[in-house]
Structures are given as C-alpha cells and as structure tokens.
Amino acid sequence: MDSGETGGPLAGLKVVEVSSVVMAPMAGRLLAKLGATVVKVEPPGGDVVRRIGASAAPGMSGAAHSLGDGKYNIAVDMKTGRGREELRGLLRSADIVLTNHLPSRRRGYGLDWESVRALNPRAILCTAQGYASDSELADTPAYDDTVQAASGVCDVYAKAGDRPRYAPYVMADKICALTIVYSVLAALHHRDEHGAGQWVDVPMVDVMADFTLTEQLNDFSFVPPKGPAGWHRTLAPSRSPHRCLDGWVCVLPYSDRNWRDFLRVSGALAEGEEAPFATNQERNENMEEVQAAIAAYAAGRTTREILGECGEAGIPVQPVRTLESLAGDDYLRGRGTVEEVRHPLGHTYLRTSPNISFSGSPLRPVRPATGIDADREDVLGDW
C-alpha cells in the first residue's frame, strides 16, 4: 500500500476513518487530498452513501465517488471478535483516528480514548457526534437536519421573513468536517511539541451554534440586549440574486465607493449629487430600498451588459451559475478543480477538488474511490 511518502503536506500520516454518511467521511477525504494515507473502515454492507442515488457500479454512487476519493477501503464487522481485532491492528499504527459513532457504541468497538490510548498513545482520536461526549446528551442521535434545527440555522431563515427551513445541502456535516480537520491538525502540532496523542471531541451542535451566532447574535450580544438577534444585511427578505434579461446575477455594491459607483452606472445618481444611504450602516438599515435599486438596474440589462458595466467600475458582480454549468466551467476545468476521470471499473465520472496550492509540498492526484472491501489485502498486508 502506498504510504503517501511523496506529495502533499500530510504525506506519511496514517488515518483510520471509522465512519458513515458525510461528516467524518468528508474530513477523511480532505486529509487524503492533503496527502495522508486514509483507510476507510466500513461495515460489511458498506456505507449507506454507496446506495444513495444512481450508481455506475455496485456500491459506487456519486457520493461514494466523492467521499471515498483518495481512500483505501476495508469492510470490518466490528460486532465480531475477529473484526475488532482487525480494527485494533489498524489503530496500533494510526496517527489519526476519526469516528462519528455515538459514545455508547464506541466503547463496545474499542474506539473510546482509553482503549485507543492503550494501543497507541501517540494517536489522535477525533470523535464527532451531535453533542459533547461528556454531556448528558452524548448519545442523542443527530443528523444534519436535527443539528441545523438545534443550532439556530433554521431560525435564521425564519428571521429572514420565511418560515424555519433547512439549508438545501448538508451544511452542518460539511462545516463540522472542516472543524474535524483543523482540530486534528492542531492536535498533531501538540503531539509534535509534547510527544503524546490526545482525544479531540467535536460536538456538532456546539460547532454550529458558534458558526451561526458569530455574526447573527449581533445586537443581542449585549446584556441587556441592544436589539434582536440577526445580521441585518443577510436577513433582508429581498436579499437574493436578481433577474436580468437572460438569467440571474449577483450585484454587490458593498463598500461606500461601490455604492456610489453603482448609482452612477445605473443612472440613478447624477454628477455632483449626494448618494442616498451613503454609508454601509445606512444601507444595512434600508436594505429593501437598496435591493430594489439593484433589481431595477438588472431587469433592463443582459448578463453580459451587467458584468461589463459593474466589472469596469470595480463593483463585485457574478452571474448565477447552475450546478450543471460548473462541470464545464473553463476556469474550474482548466485548474483541475473539476475533472473528468476514467475509473478503473470502466466508467467515467466527474471528480472535484478544493485545489489548494502548496509551494513546498505540492498535492498529487489521489487514487479513485474503491468498492466495499476492495483494498483488504493492501490494508492488512502493508499497513
């Protein structure tokens, strides 16, 4: 098995990922993209994401391709003594162990910190679940939707003039995946300095409450509050892309200068006139009028005209791209952020990457996602 000794800043690190669905698998995917050797431990039937959506081969859905990118796969029945021994063999050599199993289940599988530390005191164990492992709610089942509800995300939609809603993508899982990555890297730095591993616990509700409240607590931050919670600009019901003659655009005259330039470009401000809502504070307090001005401007122009006029004036502007159009975008394709890949199983698919650049430890292409238990011989023979 390739130990990852060349390519990427995390080359040489070994990661064991015992997880399912999106959160921890995405964290493992990112660590693999950064050069680590990642082994995904799945149940004998495979991770549930292998069966969500269309498949090009058995167990190879679109999500399985994306979340399995760069990993080695082994199926382990952790309910059996043999399976738990196979897992212990992997843990003995791991630098990082990721799992999103609930605390009560982790203990039975030997994935609690006491068990992992006894096998490998230099390992970083990262556990991630809905609530903190040392809380009364530790074993509360949690999924992306329930975490969005518990952490205020749904209420942000309500405060924006809608009803409570979920974000239309697995936002909590992906944000917590990023949290897992930066947390284990911080723990690795501590290990480099002090020689010992440690247990990192990532409670999803805590992470997402902090993420949501960072700007949304706003005037409610003070004791007593100076106003209701909510970030004024983002909660305006009219804040959205605007329709133009041939599509939709985002025009964002954010700075005071942007706003004055926009009013001139749109013909709403004559030379020498004073701009209404001249400060960012005033525009935030009058967002409906600001958005109405942008909507009126966009309605009579094509996308090309808007991009040309606003771009020339230095006003932030972008067309609204469809998910499908991103697959063929010249910029993304040219950089390899989206690429067409021929899989060893015989089908072609689109692979994506965050495409971060490192001058001293450049990333290398990772191996394609593989099927259930496809790498057992490599993993057990050369780990």
* Predicted local confidence at residue 263, as pLDDT: 97
* Predicted local confidence at residue 226, as pLDDT: 97
**What span, in angstroms and rounded, lies between the C-alpha atoms of 243 and 302?**
9
* Predicted local confidence at residue 7, as pLDDT: 82
pLDDT digits 0-9 by tens, 184-218: 999 999 999 999 999 999 999 999 999 999 999 99
* Predicted local confidence at residue 271, as pLDDT: 82
* Predicted local confidence at residue 6, as pLDDT: 56
- Locate tokens 């289940």: which residue? 105
Tell me if the bond preceding 103 is cis, omega within 30° of 0: no
**What span, in angstroms and rounded, lies between the C-alpha atoms of 257 and 370?**
52
* Predicted local confidence at residue 204, as pLDDT: 98
pLDDT digits 0-9 by tens, 328-372: 999 999 999 999 999 999 999 999 999 999 999 999 999 999 999
Give the mean pLDDT of 304-308.
Answer: 98
Which tops the pLDDT comparison, 24 or 269? 24
Percent of the chain with pLDDT over 90: 93
pLDDT digits 0-9 by tens, 125-167: 999 999 999 999 999 999 999 999 999 999 999 999 989 999 9
pLDDT digits 0-9 by tens, 283-299: 998 999 999 999 999 99
* Predicted local confidence at residue 5, as pLDDT: 46
Confidence grade of residue 267 (pLDDT, cut at 50, 70, 90): very high
Q: Is the pTM of this model over 0.85?
A: yes
Give the mean pLDDT of 67-84.
Answer: 96
